[in-house]
Amino acid sequence: MHIAIIGNGISGITAARFIRKLSDHRITVISAETDHFFSRTALMYIYMGHMRFEDTKPYEDWFWAKNRIDLLRAYVERIDPDQKQLELRDRAPLPYDKLIIACGSTPNKFGWPGQDLDGVHGMYSFQDLEAMERHSPGLQRAVIVGGGLIGIEMAEMFHSRHIPVTFLVREPSYWNGVLPAEESQMVNRHIRENHIDLRLATELREIVDDGQGKAGAGIPGLGVRFLCGFGGRPAGVRPNISFLEGSGIETQRGILVDEHLRTSVPDIYAIGDCAQARAPRPGRRPIEAIWYTGRMMGETVAYNICDRAQSYDPGIWFNSAKFFEIEYQVYGNVQARPPENHASIYWEHSDGRRSIRIIYDRETLTILGFNLMGVRYRHEVCEKWLRDQAHVEEVLQNLSLANFDPEFYSEYEAKVIASYNQQTGKQLRLRQKRRLDSVLRFLRGATTIS
Ligand SMILES: Cc1cc2nc3c(=O)[nH]c(=O)nc-3n(C[C@H](O)[C@H](O)[C@H](O)COP(=O)(O)OP(=O)(O)OC[C@H]3O[C@@H](n4cnc5c(N)ncnc54)[C@H](O)[C@@H]3O)c2cc1C
């Protein structure tokens, strides 16, 4: 059996690796972007000089031949499910028995005049990184349009090379559709502390030609004019599915898949950023464009293709990022605009760069989520509390178990408990300081710690 995979990102490559572990099928991975798999999340560190491109490749170049995974650098123009073949640009068609589409995302465009000028780029692909490199020497100013995680990364990238940055965010506060108000404001402050010209509640109207077909000035709704030579367009991403038109594969925003990651067409599967769950699990979104869910889908699809039926289970929601120097972690259900039943305990350090938020259900008092800024908690511990639907007071009294590494991170648990006591009038106390043996015992199954 020949399995073709479109896309050599985390989802396609995980699928290929697991199919190889489970079977002897012939595997071909096709990608137009690069010869080899690399870590997209590390693109910024190449620009900032922390890593070379070579260092972002998790596998040696010989790994693929050794594991009999054929790599094909080509662009798939069309899928022909009747003939079971892929039509490739400037190459002969490639037949397949089963097909996995793992074609990722593409940056959004909003129809701004000038959005296709030279010097206006999204930040998604290796080619986008090359464009940033090309435009950086002598740049007077970069204008980044659109908040979110990629926008702030672009700001940090230019900032690392001392290129002045103006950052236009349409909303009144950075990423306020995802971050609760206090955390969003913390990031606003931190962006400005880094000397980024952050313009909130500001919409781009037009990008003006400098007379030579290059981005010359961004003109936001407020009528301000900026000199610039680069317009970053990181205003979110969407599934990269335009080449599927006419294939008969059912799509909405993404490629619709069932719990086994099957599309509407037999023998064709879709995974990663481009897949849209027909029936997402409670509390989960139909499209989750993040690294670890791509990896999980890659593994699940491999089992399904190798006749070991498995439903896709994304587990407890988790995400992490960095806003300049502030690390961010979220576990479970933390919403920017919480529903009625969500109660929240919030503690913020006086330096305004660290905070802990714990969400629980107002009626059942079960734990729902953690939102951490500048403080790192243990993934396994938070996940276990959430999976076990632990009582909020049980969590609070044992909060030191979650503290990742008190050797390097200070402990703020007592302060979080004090916030809860103040809110509720209770007299809760921390049961003990964190000790590694307690953490291990807890993870092995003891629900309370002695
Ligand atoms: C700058 C940046 C930073 C990020 N940081 C984080 C982070 O910190 N944490 C996190 O969880 N997520 C992060 N993400 C998101 C994460 O990288 C993606 O969710 C993940 O890479 C998606 O993997 P994928 O395999 O689905 O698709 P992709 O990695 O997009 O791979 C798809 C591949 O398919 C190729 N392709 C598409 N169509 C065709 C075609 N027709 N023919 C041939 N080849 C094709 C593409 O060129 C691409 O190489 C970040 C993304 C970006 C852009």
Cα separation values, 62 from 65, 70, 126, 428, Å = 6, 11, 21, 57
Amino acid at 449: I
Residue scoring higher pLDDT (12 or 436): 12
Q: What percent of the chain has pLDDT over 70?
A: 90
Query: Which amino acid type is present at position 44?
Result: M
Q: Tell me the pLDDT band of 224, cut-offs 50, 70 and 90.
A: very low
Report the pLDDT value the prediction gives residue 331, as an integer from 0 to 100: 97
Q: When comparing pLDDT for 407 and 105, which is higher?
A: 105
Domains of the chain as residue ranges with CATH: 2-106+238-305 (3.50.50.60), 120-235 (3.50.50.60), 318-444 (3.30.390.30)
Mean pLDDT lowest for which of 99-108, 300-309, 431-440?
A: 431-440
Whether residue 370 is predicted with pLDDT greater than 80 in this model: the reply is yes
Distance 316 CA to ligand 1 centre (A): 22
pLDDT in tens, 400-437: 889 876 556 567 888 999 999 999 999 998 886 656 66
**Is any ligand 1 atom within 6 A of the Cβ of residue 9?**
yes
Average pLDDT, integer, range 272-297: 95
Q: For the whole model, what pTM was predicted?
A: 0.90
Q: How many residues does the chain have?
A: 450
Q: Is the distance from the beta carbon of residue 75 to the nearest atom of ligand 1 less than 6 Å?
A: yes
Please give the pLDDT value at position 412.
Answer: 87
With contact defined as beta carbons under 8 Å apart, do 210 and 216 qualify?
Answer: yes
CA 398, distance to chain mean position in Å, is 30
Whether 223 shows a pLDDT value over 80: the answer reads no
Q: In angstroms, rounded to a whole number, what is the distance separating the alpha carbons of residues 159 and 44?
A: 12
Closest CA to 140 of 114, 115, 166: 166
Ligand 1 pocket test, candidate residues 38, 88, 103, 121, most atoms within 8 A of CB? 103
Pick from 99-103, 208-212, 241-245, 436-440: least confident: 436-440
Ligand 1 contacts CB of residue 10 (under 6 A): yes
